[in-house]
Structure 1
Amino acid sequence: MSAQYELESPQIDPISSLEFSPSGAKLLVGSWDRTVCVYQRSENDSTPFTLEKRVHCRAPVLDVCWGKNESVAYFVGLDKDVRRVDLASEDNEQTVLSTHGRSSNKVAYSRERNLLLSTSWDGTLHVHNTEQPAGTSLLRVRLAAKPFAISLTQGRAIVAMVHRKMSIYDLMSLKMLTEQTTDVHMNGESDIGEVAIHDMEPWQTRESNLKFMTRAVAAMPDGTGFATSSIEGRVAVEWFDADRAGDTYAFKCHRQTVTEVGEDGEEHEIDIVYPVNALVFNKVHGTFATGGGDGVIALWDAQSKRRVKQYNKQVASVAALDFSPDGKYLAAGVSPGFEDGMEECDFDPNLIKVVVRELAENEARGRAPR
């Protein structure tokens, strides 16, 4: 039987991101209030995760990710830095790995390749080989446009950008380039701060199947494709293999139909369209969840093209989602998203929440095609 729990949420500004640890025993949460919170799975009957520690940061945090294990985490934000935090140290020691030219908005870690990737509004991708000494293996790659989202498979990095541009990079090729960068530093041929921007050709380039700005991208667990979402209340599902190009499809979601009385005195039905802010696949069942500006979380089956489940509306916009590796929990960061046009108003801090849904055994399982 499923249940939803609200975690202790000390955040006083909107939540930007969250991610379960490799074992699923911990949950990392980043916030605009300049903190990263770490939650530990507990045996408490009232909540499955309890607050373990808060890491104080120099600037608002835009994205977080775990490293190779649960003692290392990474985060990026408005201060332009890519930072590593040692969660096993008493003072949560932080190390700056690189600095972008503008704010860094996304970060992701590949455990298969031991690579840390970050993107920035300066239009670059930073790649760190974590097997090498910090700072010696920095690879800067010029992106085709300003990036909005990133997701990794075991062998690929998918970067979604402005103007509907999509670039897919081969992680092994990126790692080989970081090793060349390391050799240059070790031989004294270049200072760390003088690393040039590399114009690397992506493994694949394509145009998004969505007409408006991309909000999120998520790779399929089997590495064969990915899903993207946009501000227009749509999701597209596509595959890497050219032979499956015909299987690509898009669908509408996170919309609300309301009835209004027009100037003519007649009632008219109109659609209110919300951005799809968050997108994540369940690694066990292969289904995926979406979170929207309407406060709704829904589960979808990419193969049968059917909605599996829709949950009760949250108190505010869903800003971030993640499934635990075992598929048992679905975490959501809930915060005011200003979709109601109230940007100039002070938001209610009581609307900022971290909720975790414990799923029933087959709750996220796909549905047979009709």
Structure 2
Amino acid sequence: MAPATQFEVAQPPQDAISALAFGPGTSRRLLVSSWDKNVYLYEVSSGAEEATLVRTFEHRAPVLDVCFGASPDEAYTAGIDHQVKKIDLATGDQTVLSKHSEAVRCVVFSAQHSILISASWDCTLHVHNISHPSQPPLAIPLPGKPHALAASPTKLVVAMTARLVHIYDLPALAAAVDPSSPSRQPPQPWQQRESSLKFLTRAVACMPNDAGYATSSIEGRVAVEWFDDSPESQARKYAFKCHRQAAPEDEGGGDIVYPVNSLAFHPVHGTFASGGGDGTVALWDAEAKRRMRQYQRFPESVAALGFSGDGRLLAIGVCPGFETGMEDYSGEGRTKLFIRELGESEAKGKGSK
């Protein structure tokens, strides 16, 4: 059984990390977006002992999200400059796919349906048909400002302010932007829910088996839910406290609560990782409702997590959080990127084969 190894990437972003993503399939490519207005492309060695910075892609403003497209040479970004961009990672060419009227918070690519969805603080989703890039995106109005976005094989989960959660059917979104479609009317949400968490949603991630999703909040909690809206299925949903530390007795005791900034499901075993403002990463078995392990504390807040397509690598973005205020905030010199090669059964849950 191969032991787990972990290393720090030599050339991390110069400011806070906003998102990271591994390439599709067995790709060892890693994209990292940053508040320093750049997207970084790394190549992780086959032995996972080092990651080489291939090149950077400069933007006009901080980049809030990044994802790969259908191939390891294609990427999409969401930025504070209101733009959704496509990047040709081989040539460096950048193409503006659409413009929102406010900052773009999230971007998600569905390989199964060849569509790209962006979510903006202007309270809209843009659905792009990647097969027909000249076609304008379909705009879908939202009842609140989106804060997190995630896709499963058939569903899109949008977490918004006021604890609003909308779930869309991806085949319906793809049909709406099909050039042969007689109508480009925005589809209605497949389901509308209220978050199980009482405070602002920080992250959302979908189960790889298309069964449900997990959300996290600024108040140190994670909720696990299933798409099936039958009473039996909904009775299975649960929430739990995490990423908290005991306060010193001389400060009144109790818990110091940290935001859960990132969630990522393991693509093979269906377990998931959480990263928090307390500087820790934990692995959870969603079915068994238990924490499998917690790694050693990192030097700063954990801002972003991502598993490689084969589930063998976990990328961890670390930078100062906003927990203590923003007046003197600087991620320069304190932003770090770690790659962990998981042991053979490290992320395997109780029920995994």
TM-score by length of 1: 0.90
Q: Is the 8 A contact 1:98 1:135 kept in 2?
A: no
In the alignment, the residues of structure 1 paired with residue 37 and residue 276 of structure 2 have an alpha-carbon distance, to the nearest angstrom, of 24
Q: State the AA in 1 paired with 2:178.
A: E
Q: Distance in 2 between matches of 1:181 and 1:271?
A: 56
Structure with higher Rg: it is 1
Seen in structure 2, the aligned counterparts of structure 1 residues 137 and 50 have a Cα distance that, compared at 3 Å, is same
Give, in angstroms, the shift of residue 8 of structure 1: 2.1
Instruction: Please show how residues 1-370 of structure 1 align to structure 2 within 5 Å.
Output: 1-23=3-25, 24-43=27-46, 46-47=49-50, 49-89=51-91, 92-132=92-132, 134-180=133-179, 200-243=187-230, 244-261=233-250, 268-339=252-323, 341-347=324-330, 349-367=332-350
* Structure 2 length-normalised TM: 0.94
Residues 182/63 of structure 1: CA separation in 2 closer, same or farther (3 Å cut): farther
Distance 2:290 2:340 in 1: 21
Segments of 5+ residues of structure 1 without an aligned counterpart are 185-195, 263-267
The 2-side partners of 1:235 and 1:319 are apart by 16
Q: Deviations along 1:53-88, whole A, 9 cap, x unmatched?
A: 111111100000001101110101110000001112
Structure 1 residues 297-347: Cα deviation after superposition (integer angstroms, max 9, x where no partner): 0000000000001000111111110011111111011110121x2421243
**Identity, % of aligned pairs?**
48
**1:67–1:74 Cα contact (<8 Å) kept:** yes
Whole-angstrom CA distance in 1 between matches of 2:307 and 2:329: 31
* Unmatched runs of 5 consecutive residues or more in structure 2: none
The root-mean-square deviation of aligned C-alpha atoms, in Å, is: 1.8
The answer on whether the counterparts of 2:40 and 2:56 sit within 8 Å (CA) in structure 1 is yes
Give 1:261 shift.
Answer: 2.3
Displacement, 1:152? 0.5
SS in 1 for 2:15: coil
Structure 1 distance, partners of 2:88, 2:175, is: 26
Question: Does the 8 Å CA contact 1:142/1:200 hold for their aligned counterparts?
Answer: no
d(CA) in 2 for partners of 1:364, 1:314:
19
d(CA) in 2 for partners of 1:149, 1:338: 18
Contact 2:84 2:96 in 1 (8 A): yes
2:6–2:341: 8 Å Cα contact kept in structure 1? yes
SS in 2 for 1:176: helix
Which runs of structure 1 show a deviation greater than 6 angstroms over 4 or more consecutive aligned residues?
Answer: 181-184
CA distance in 1, matches of 2:48, 2:82: 40
